[in-house]
Amino acid sequence: MQIKNTTGFTFVELLIALMITGIMGTIAVPRFSGLIKNYTFTNAARVIWLDLHRAKMMAIKQGRPMRVDFTATSYNIVRVDTAAVVLSRNLSVDYPNITFNTIATTPSVSFGSTGTANGGTVVIQRGPTSSKQFTIALTGRIGPIP
C-alpha cells in the first residue's frame, strides 16, 4: 500500500509562480528606480532648505549677519564680519547630477542679525527636466519645503 502526500507544490507549479514573480519584477524595477531618484532629489532640496534656516537662526542667535554663498554644486555658510566659513556642503558627493543656482543680483543669500534677508529664489535642478525652487523673502521667510 502506497500513501500519496497531496500537500505541497509540484515542480511545474513552482516554475509558474517564479515566472509570474519575474514578470512582475521586470515591470516594477524601472518605476522603483524613478521613485528613488525623485526621493533623493527631494531630500537634496530639503537639506538646502534646512541649511538656509540654519544660517538664519545662527544670524539671530549670534547677532551677526550670515551669508550663504552658492556655486553650481556646493555652498558655504559664512559669518560676514569675520569671513569665517561656518558650514560647507558639497552636494555632488551625496547627490550626484543635482545642481542649483540663485536668481538674485548675487550668487548668495544674506541674513541679518534680526533674521531679515536680501531675498532671492533658489532653484535646484536634476538634469534638464526636473527642478524645485523656494523663495527667500525680504522678511527672512524661506518658502515652503520643495
- Spacing of C-alpha 63 from chain mean position: 29
> What is residue 1's predicted lDDT score, i.e. its pLDDT?
58
Query: How far apart are alpha carbons 117 and 138 in whole angstroms?
Result: 5
What pLDDT sits at residue 94? 83
Read off the pTM: 0.76
Residue 105: per-residue pLDDT = 47
pLDDT-flagged residues of the chain (< 50): 104-105
Per-residue confidence (pLDDT) for residue 52, from 0 to 100: 93
d(CA 115, CA 142): 11
Domains observed in the chain? 11-136 (3.55.40.10)
Say how far apart CA 84 and CA 65 lie, in whole Å: 12
Cell 544674506 belongs to residue: 110
User: What is residue 110's predicted lDDT score, i.e. its pLDDT?
Assistant: 92
